[in-house]
Structure formats: C-alpha cells, structure tokens
C-alpha cells in the first residue's frame, strides 16, 4: 500500500515525477479526460437548468477501475493534472469517480516539473477550484449546444457530416473575409524616386519626399517625369542633418501565443506540432547530470511574468558569459485581461544550455527548446543601440531625405532577434557619410521605380493566431485545436504556409454568417470569452451565462430552420452532360472537396470526379492542365492526356511559354508525381541472396560427407 497516490494526465509526466519521489509514492496517469459528454446525443438537460449528462469515456473502464483500486489502497490521493481550466476540470471529474469529497485538500499543480518544484508543491495542496472547473464546463456546454443545434442545418442544406462551431466558424469567417478582400482588391499605381548621391566617393541613397517641405505622393509617370526634368541639372544641397541614438529592446519571454507564432515563423512548425513538442519538454526529458526533468515551464500561459529566482539565474548566466554591460534587469507587464496564473514560458534550468543537451533531444525538441531558451535569456539582456543620422537634401524646390543607422552595441541581439510577419527595415544598417549643412553632394544617378499597392496577405498560422489573440477569440490553449479542426474538416487548406478557404468552407461560411449573424461574429465570440473569464474569477455563475445565451439562440435556430425549409441552395450547373440520363451535371461538395453529380437524384445516382482546369495550356502538348491532390492534400498538375499521349505531370503550376523537363522534377514523400521505376537492384539482391543460400547448403553437405 502506497502512502500517497498522485494522478497526472500523461504517462511521460508520471514517469518524470516518479523519479523525484520515494518508493512510498505511486504516480499514475489518467490519460487525459475520463468523463465527457456523450457523442450520440447533445448530453445537456435543457429542462433541468442545462445540467451536463457526463458519462465515462468509452474504452476507459479498465483504467477507471485501476484508478479506483489504487485510490482505495492509498492513504492520500493527490490530483496533479495540468495547471489550467482543462486540468482543473479533469481533476474535478477524477474526484467524482474516486469518491473524493468536494472540500478535500487534494489538488496539486506544477508550473515546472523539477525535483524542487514537485516536492514543494506536494507540501502545499489545495481544494479543487470550482470556479475554474465551472469556466471549463460553461465553454464545453455552450460549444456543445451551438454545434448540435446548428450542424443539422448544414446537413440539410449542404452535406451530412458537416459541423459548425462557435469559435472555429469565426476563424473560418476571418479567413474567408480576407480572401474576399484579396479578390476585390484593386491595385493602385505609385512611384518612388531614388537619388544615388556621394561624398568623397562614399555613396548613399536619398528618397524623394516632396516639394517645399510638403510631402507629395506620386501616382503617375507624368508626375515623375516633371520632377526629373526640373532636377536634371539641379545641385543637391544638404539643408539639415540630425544625429541621434536609437535603442531596440528585447521581446518579453514567450506566452503560448507568441511561442506558437515564433515557432511558425522561425522553425516552420504547425501550431499543433509546437504544442506537442512543448508538452514533451514540459513533462520531462532525460538529460545528463539531472536525469529526467521538465526542461520548460508550463506552456499554456498568457503571462510574461518571471520569478525572481529565474531572473537571478539569468543575471548570473548573462554576466558570466557576456559581461555586466549585457545585463539589464527587466520586468514585463502582462497585458490587461490576460490570465496571469503562471509565469511566461522559460527554461527550468538556465545551466542546461541547448548545445549541452542537444544529444538528449530530438531535432525538433532541440529547435523549440533553443528558441524558448534564447528568447528568455535575451529578455533579460541590454537593449541594442544604434547611431542614427537623417539628412534633408534639396534639389531646387524639391526635397529628398536620407536616413542611416549603424549598430553601436548589439546587446540582446547577440543572442536572439524576434521575427515579424510585417517585415520592416527599421533595424537594417545603412551607412551615410558625415554630412555638413550647406554643402553640395554629388549626384551619381537618379532612379525611378513604379510599384503597385498589394492586397492584404493571406493568413498564415502565425498571423491567424496573432489576430485571434488580438480580437479575444478563443484562448491560447485552444488555438492549436481551432486551426487543426478547420483544416481537418476541409473548410481551410494550407497552400505552402498560407491558409486558404476551400469552396466547401466558403459555402458553409456564407450560410452561417447570413443566417446566424449574432452568433458567428467576432464581437459575440470575444464577449463570451470575457464572460468565461468572469466565471473563472468567481464573478458570475456559469449557468446564468448559458441561460442568457440559450433563449435568443434557440429562437434564432428555429427561425432559420423554418426560413430555409423550402430554400434550396443554388447549385453550380456545369456544361457536362450526365452519361446516364443526359441532364447537365451540378457541382456538389463532399469530404474531399467538389465532385459532379446528376441533378436527377434519386432517380439517377450518377457521380463523376470534378476536374479543375487551369488557364495555362500543357507545356508539352497544349492540352488542358488539371489540378489534382495527393492523399495528403498536396496539389499537383497533370495533362488531361496523361498517360494516353502526354507525360506531363508536375508539382509546380505551369507558366506560359515555359519548357518542362521530366528529369528535373524532384521525387517527393507524397509519391506523386512521377512514380519511381522498378530497379534491378531488388531483383539482383534476391538472386544474390538465393545464390548465397544455395552455396551455404552445398558447403554444409560437403562437411557432412567429410
């Protein structure tokens, strides 16, 4: 019989904690949730004040029985699930199953899984926080109601099996709205004039600003030509010079959101992958000298706060490695509305440098750990310092500006520089010679550049997470699930790093946003998140939030259902006749995208694949090029005549006039295009193996004869 039983969520976390505690402590894993709402029905008793009808999760009966047995045989049970709302709810469900009283002092949380923290946390258990549990229940119940009430409308009007979600639908809306902006965007022409000037043979660039010190924007070639004519023989005179100093401060330690964004930008990790790897680093990795230990603090946090102990360790490390001038004591303010229960994400041991433990980590673990480690250390370092110079230079009545900067002190940039989606030239070094007011600088050449305004970029996973956070949609712990869900349901697909709405996503978004304007919108979703926060803080009972939401929502669902009862969504009619009955086939949406179906269903059930053709002809035979997808959803391009009379197939979209050489096409893990030919190597190997066996048998026979 164990004195203490500690229940955590995952086996890896259990294995790590076991090593810190004595033999009289047993550590087991619940494998995540043990109870949830049923999948076969809504599972919410509307008539009895929205009481959730939880059931034990199918397939976990033996695990639950094992946990009950362990609990019965232990003097004290500690529920040490993750330190967030989801973890609190799992602990609450475990307490129910194990018969632990509501007021029992049984809840333990670890912000970091190190020997010191684990032992200290077990000394200070607390009650299960009912407010945190209720906040999770409120989210679960409200999301279940929205999904189960709206999804059937999609089944009737679009396709069975589709689903709608309170947050995921808003994420799809953002992506579709951005795509509509891009489609509707009309580029505007604009021009820039650059003067290459020099002093003592040292060249620099000055950009046209305006006339008589008033800024002028150039939109036509005629405007540019007029200026060029007027400054053709002009002298370029320095009118004003300003010198200064600019500091760039480091970014704060990671929050969940900023870690997801930066891992996407710097490492190319999907949000889901980042969280999976961070979970491994948090739960424990075996490293030299320390044994199995959690390498980073809890990875679901809104906070940038750092403990004084961690700050002191960073100071010691920075001053020893870089010198006193590189250290600066820094405090970061957590933004208003953020959950500040945990520290920012940081390494648990500063002495475990990434390079020291590289051999103990997988390549991906090493990359993410190094990112977290360097970001944290840099956050406690001195600012980078630039010497700046700006000069106003006149040519007749026209004004040019030259700006330059040189890095004087690298500071935190020695170790880490944050990436940005909106790349700027703020920190690019540009040299300008020493200029004196009133002097003439030599004109080397004048360049003109025509440009066009560009549409807003498509969302990437990083920029979508940033937008969701800024608008208050979801919470950091939910971003990975939101993005995975809308991709898995084929409402959105990845095109390289960009998130692009599918035709199915557009259809579903149109139906939802036109009929559920009060639900599928940013403001409502953000407001609900704020109310969940109030529940977590004990300011509002969770059932009141559900009550106030449900009545108007139910009325809206009934209204929409009636209005759409006799409305048939317009189907795209093609010019392709049905092979069986001759009707013109229509475009339908399935699990894997578009397909063609006969409109005479159910009398005629004929279906055909939908072939999406592009405007560029086949570079080999001039036929139509069709876009197809691999099983993993990657696009490839193939001639409609392949393989009958043309062999064109490529990963890259063809361009007009380009030549195609099949041997240039690279092989891919997703197999297509270009299947690998059978080689003689395997046949040769088989023959060789057979020959070796025959020779061996002959030798054995000779030995027996002798």
Active-site residue set:
298
DSSP result, 309-367: HHHHHHHHHHHHHT-GGGB-----PPPTT---SSPPB-BS-TTS-TTTTGGGS-HHHHH
Helix (H) or strand (E) holding 484: helix 476-488
**CB within 8 Å of 261: residues ≥ 6 apart:** 421, 462, 463, 465, 466
Helix, strand, or coil here: 462?
helix
DSSP result, 604-653: ---EEE--EEPSSPPTTTS--EEEEE-TT--EEEEETTTTTT---EESSP
Strands 25-29 and 4-8: parallel
Beta-sheet strand order (sheet of 612-613): 612-613, 625-629, 635-639, 649-650
Strand-pairing partners, residue 243, are 389
Over the range 410-436, which residues count as b (16 or more CB within 10 Å of their CB) and which as e?
A: ebbbbbbbbeeeeeeeeeeeeebbebe
Q: Say how many C-beta atoms besides its own lie within 10 A of residue 556's C-beta.
A: 17
Helix, strand, or coil here: 684?
helix
Helix (H) or strand (E) holding 530: helix 522-536
d(CA 501, CA 175): 6
d(CA 295, CA 112): 8
Sign of CA dihedral 27, 33, 35, 39: negative
Sign of CA dihedral 292, 295, 301, 303: positive
DSSP result, 539-556: SS-HHHHHHHHHHHHHHH
Over the range 675-699, which residues count as b (16 or more CB within 10 Å of their CB) and which as e?
A: eeeeeeeeeeeeeeeeeeeeeeeee
Q: Please, are residues 3 and 27 in contact by the beta-carbon 8 Å criterion?
A: no
Helix, strand, or coil here: 44?
strand
Strand-pairing partners, residue 55, are 36
């Amino acid at each position: 019989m164990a004195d203490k039983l500690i229940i955590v969520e995952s086996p890896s976390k259990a294995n790590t904690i076991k090593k810190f505690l004595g033999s009289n402590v047993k550590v087991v894993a619940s494998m995540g949730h043990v109870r949830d709402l049923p999948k076969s029905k809504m599972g919410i008793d509307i008539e009895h004040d929205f009481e959730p009808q939880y059931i034990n999760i199918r397939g976990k009966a033996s695990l639950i029985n094992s946990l009950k047995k362990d609990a019965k045989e232990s003097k004290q049970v500690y529920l040490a699930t993750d330190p967030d709302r989801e973890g609190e709810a799992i602990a609450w469900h475990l307490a129910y199953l194990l018969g632990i009283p509501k007021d029992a002092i049984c809840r333990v949380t670890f912000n970091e899984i190190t020997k010191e923290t684990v032992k200290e946390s077990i000394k200070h258990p607390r009650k299960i926080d009912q407010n945190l549990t209720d906040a999770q229940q409120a989210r679960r119940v409200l999301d279940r109601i929205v999904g189960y009430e709206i999804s059937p409308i999609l089944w009737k009007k679009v396709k069975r099996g589709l689903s709608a979600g309170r947050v995921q639908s808003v994420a799809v809306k953002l992506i579709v709205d951005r795509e509509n902006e891009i489609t509707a965007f009309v580029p505007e022409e604009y021009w820039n004039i650059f003067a290459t000037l020099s002093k003592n043979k040292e060249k620099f660039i000055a950009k046209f600003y305006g006339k008589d010190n008033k800024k002028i924007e150039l939109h036509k070639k005629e405007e540019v030509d007029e200026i060029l004519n007027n400054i053709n023989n002009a002298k370029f005179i320095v009118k004003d010079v300003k010198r200064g100093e600019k500091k760039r401060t480091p970014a704060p330690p990671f929050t969940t959101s900023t870690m997801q964004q930066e891992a996407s930008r710097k490492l190319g990790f999907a949000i889901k992958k980042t969280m999976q790897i961070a979970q491994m680093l948090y739960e424990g990795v075996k490293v030299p000298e320390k044994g199995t230990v959690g390498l980073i603090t809890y990875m679901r946090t809104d906070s940038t706060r750092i403990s004084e102990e961690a700050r002191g360790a960073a100071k010691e490390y920075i001053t020893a490695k870089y010198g006193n001038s590189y250290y600066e004591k820094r405090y970061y303010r957590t933004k208003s509305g953020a959950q500040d229960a945990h520290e920012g994400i940081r390494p648990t041991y500063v002495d475990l440098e990434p390079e020291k433990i590289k051999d103990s980590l997988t390549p991906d673990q090493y990359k993410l750990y190094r990112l977290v480690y360097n970001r944290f250390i840099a956050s406690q370092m001195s600012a980078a310092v630039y010497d700046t110079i700006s000069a106003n230079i006149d040519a007749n009545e026209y004004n040019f500006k030259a700006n330059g900067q040189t890095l004087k002190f690298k500071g935190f940039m020695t170790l880490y520089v944050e990436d940005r989606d909106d790349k700027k030239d703020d920190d690019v070094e540009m040299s300008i010679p020493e200029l004196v007011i009133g002097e003439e600088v030599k004109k080397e050449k004048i360049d003109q550049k025509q440009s066009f305004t560009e549409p807003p970029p498509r969302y990437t996973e990083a920029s979508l997470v940033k937008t969701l956070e800024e608008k208050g949609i979801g919470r950091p712990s939910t971003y990975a699930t939101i993005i995975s869900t809308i991709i898995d349901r084929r409402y959105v697909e990845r095109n390289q790093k960009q998130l692009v709405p599918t035709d199915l996503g557009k259809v579903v978004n149109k139906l939802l946003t036109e009929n559920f304007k009060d639900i599928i919108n940013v403001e409502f979703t953000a407001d609900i998140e704020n109310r969940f926060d109030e529940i977590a803080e004990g300011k509002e009972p969770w059932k009141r939030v559900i009550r106030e939401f449900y009545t108007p929502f139910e009325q809206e669902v009934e209204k929409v259902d009636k209005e759409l009862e006799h409305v048939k969504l317009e189907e795209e009619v093609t010019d392709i006749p049905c092979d069986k009955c001759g009707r013109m086939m229509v475009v339908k949406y399935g699990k894997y995208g578009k397909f063609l179906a006969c409109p005479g269903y159910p009398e005629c059930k004929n279906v055909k694949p939908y072939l999406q053709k592009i405007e560029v002809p086949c570079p080999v035979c001039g036929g139509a090029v069709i876009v197809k997808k691999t099983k993993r959803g990657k696009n490839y391009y193939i001639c409609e005549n392949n393989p009958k009379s043309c062999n064109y197939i490529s990963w890259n979209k063809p361009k007009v006039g380009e030549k195609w050489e099949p041997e240039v096409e690279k092989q891919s893990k997703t197999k297509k295009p270009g299947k690998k030919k059978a080689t003689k190597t395997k046949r040769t190997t088989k023959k060789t193996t057979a020959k070796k066996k025959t020779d061996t048998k002959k030798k054995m026979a000779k030995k027996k004869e002798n």
